[in-house]
Amino acid sequence: MKSVLGVNIDHVATLREARKGAMPEVIAAAVIAEQEGGHGITVHLRQDRRHIQDRDLRLLKSVVHSKLNLEMSLSEEITAIALDIVPDQATLVPENREEVTTEGGLDVHGQIERTREVSRRLAARGVIVSHFIDPEPKQIEAAKEAGAAYIELHTGAYANARWANKAHEYTKLVEGARFAAGLGLGVNAGHGLDYLNVQPIAAIPEVEELNIGHAIIARAIFCGLAGAVREMALLIAGAGESRDWPWKL
């Protein structure tokens, strides 16, 4: 199966919130990202509202024609907003106030009742429920038990691994994807992916959607958002032609 690109536009809002003004407009970013090869738009409405605001989510719901994927914590406040807005997909993520970005995967195993309850309420509104987890069998099984339709495998450890550890982290993702698919879960992946490390992940047969933000927005500052999205979409579409990754499997 070919993977598709979900463009995370949080950091367009990060730039806007640096001045608390109107620029750059995240809605414009969503339109460009969709037109240039994004198969979905992803935003994370954090409890601290450090980037995406409620107004952004409301407008995106009517503007996005592809798939709107809301990253969200298990908090009741955010759950109520998600149930009101009804995005196409909700990806349940952990959230700590102090963190710079989402650090580990959601500990579904350790909070299975709450995760199941939030997942059930979202699914009842027709939302596709995904759990952002580390590639550990225990978490994958818990996601299945808690009612996820999809998991999003956390690719951060692979992205951050030095050369000698890349193959090891990659293998965990490959095996996690296979294990999840065997349980009947759909598989997405994301976090820390960039123009250099994306292709091996896009080549994992079970992976359907890659959610990528920081690298695209960073490149957009120098090259423009349209080209940055196009280039990432092309890399993803071209993955799978070679499994000869430089760090040797």
Task: State yes or no: is 44 an active-site residue.
Answer: yes
Asked if 190 is part of the footprint of ligand PXP (rule: CB under 6 A), the reply reads yes
Stretch that binds ligand PXP, among 17-25, 76-84, 138-146, 205-213 (CB under 6 A): 205-213
Asked if 39 is part of the footprint of ligand PXP (rule: CB under 6 A), the reply reads no
Output the DSSP codes for 100-132. SS--S---TGGGHHHHHHHHHHHHHTTPEEEEE
Nearest to 4 by CA among 158, 208, 246, 204: 208
Asked if 158 is part of the footprint of ligand PXP (rule: CB under 6 A), the reply reads no
Residues 85-104 that bind ligand PXP (CB under 6 A): 91, 93, 101-102
Asked if 119 is part of the footprint of ligand PXP (rule: CB under 6 A), the reply reads no
**CA atoms of 204 and 116, how far apart (whole Å):** 28
Among 8, 73, 139, 199, binds ligand PXP (CB under 6 A): 8
Yes or no: say if 127 and 118 are a contact pair by the CB < 8 Å rule.
Answer: no
Q: Torsions phi, psi of 70, nearest 5?
A: -100, 120
CA angle 199, 103, 132 (to 5 degrees): 65
Stretch that binds ligand PXP, among 56-64, 184-192, 221-229, 233-241 (CB under 6 A): 184-192
Asked if 10 is part of the footprint of ligand PXP (rule: CB under 6 A), the reply reads yes
Asked if 193 is part of the footprint of ligand PXP (rule: CB under 6 A), the reply reads yes
Task: State yes or no: is 39 an active-site residue.
Answer: no
For ligand PXP, give the closer residue by CB, 101 or 171: 101
Asked if 176 is part of the footprint of ligand PXP (rule: CB under 6 A), the reply reads no
CB contact set of 95 (below 8 Å; sequence gap of 6+)? 46, 47, 73, 75, 102
Stretch that binds ligand PXP, among 21-29, 48-56, 212-220, 241-249 (CB under 6 A): 212-220
Asked if 191 is part of the footprint of ligand PXP (rule: CB under 6 A), the reply reads yes
Active-site option among 34, 71, 95, 206: 71
Q: What is the CA radius of gyration of the chain?
A: 17
Task: State yes or no: is 136 an active-site residue.
Answer: no
Measured CA to CA in angstroms, residue 87 lies from 67, 129, 186, 219, 236 at distances of 8, 10, 18, 27, 24
Q: How many residues bind ligand PXP (CB under 6 A)?
A: 19
Coil vs helix vs strand at 3: coil
User: What residue ranges bind ligand PXP (CB under 6 A)?
Assistant: 8, 10, 44, 71, 91, 93, 101-102, 132, 152, 190-193, 211-215
